[in-house]
C-alpha cells in the first residue's frame, strides 16, 4: 500500500509539477488507495473518507486544484460544485434504477471525485470504471462460474477511473475531440 502511494505521489509530481496544488492531489490519490483496499476487503466505502473529501474537494477544487482537462487552469468553484453535484446525482440515479446494486458509498465517493475532477471528470471516471468493471465481470462469468448476482465492489474501478482521469484526462479529451479528423 505504501509503495503504491509513493508511486502515485511521484506520478502526481511528474504530471502536475511542484506547488501547493500537490497537497490536495496527494491526499486525493491516498484516499483512492485506501478506498480501494477497504472496498475490496469489506465492500464498503467509509463516510469518514468521502464526506470530508467532498468538503475539502470543494474548497481545494475551487482554489488550488488544476483542471484535469486543462492543467494550466485551476478547476474553480463552479466546476467543482457542478462536478460534486453531477457525481452525486448520477450515482444516486444509478442506485435507484439498480434497486440496491449500487451502494451509498459509491454515491458519496463520486461526489468527492467530482469536486476535484469536475463534471467531465465524473463522466470519464464513470466510463472508465464501468468499462474496467465490465471486463472483470465478463471474466468472472466466463471463467469463474459466477452469476449476474455476484457482488463485486465497484469502488476500485471508480478509483482506477479517477486515476486515469487525473493523469490522462487532458490527453483523452484531445484524442476524443480529434477522432474522425
DSSP state of 67: E
Give the H or E element holding residue 62: helix 47-63
Q: What is the pLDDT of residue 36?
A: 97
* pLDDT computed for residue 146 by the predictor: 72
Place of cell 444516486: 92
List per-block mean pLDDT (blocks of 10 residues) for the chain, which spans 181 residues: 95 93 95 97 96 95 86 86 97 90 92 96 96 89 73 92 95 85 69
- At 24 the pLDDT is 94
Domain ranges of the chain: 2-177
> Residue 72: what pLDDT?
77
Identify whether the C-beta of residue 79 lies closer than 8 Å to the C-beta of residue 102. Answer: no
Distance in angstroms (rounded) separating the CA atoms of residues 54 and 47:
10
What pLDDT is stored for residue 1 in this prediction? Answer: 86
Q: What is the pLDDT at residue 119?
A: 95
Amino acid at each position: 500500500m505504501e509503495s503504491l502511494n509513493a508511486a502515485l505521489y511521484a506520478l502526481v509530481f511528474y504530471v502536475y509539477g511542484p506547488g501547493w496544488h500537490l497537497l490536495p492531489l496527494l491526499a486525493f490519490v491516498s484516499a483512492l488507495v485506501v478506498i480501494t483496499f477497504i472496498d475490496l476487503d469489506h465492500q464498503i466505502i467509509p463516510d469518514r473518507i468521502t464526506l470530508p473529501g467532498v468538503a475539502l474537494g470543494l474548497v481545494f477544487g475551487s482554489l488550488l486544484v488544476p483542471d484535469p482537462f486543462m492543467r494550466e487552469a485551476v478547476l474553480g468553484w463552479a466546476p467543482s460544485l457542478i462536478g460534486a453535484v453531477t457525481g452525486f446525482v448520477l450515482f444516486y440515479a444509478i442506485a435507484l434504477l439498480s434497486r440496491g446494486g449500487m451502494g451509498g458509498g459509491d454515491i458519496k465517493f463520486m461526489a468527492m471525485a467530482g469536486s476535484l475532477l469536475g463534471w467531465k471528470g465524473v463522466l470519464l471516471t464513470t466510463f472508465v470504471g464501468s468499462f474496467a468493471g465490465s471486463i472483470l465481470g465478463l471474466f468472472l462469468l466466463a471463467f469463474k462460474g459466477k452469476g449476474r448476482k455476484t457482488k463485486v465492489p465497484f469502488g476500485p474501478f471508480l478509483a482506477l477511473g479517477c486515476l486515469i482521469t487525473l493523469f490522462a484526462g487532458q490527453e483523452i479529451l484531445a484524442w476524443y475531440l480529434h477522432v474522425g479528423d
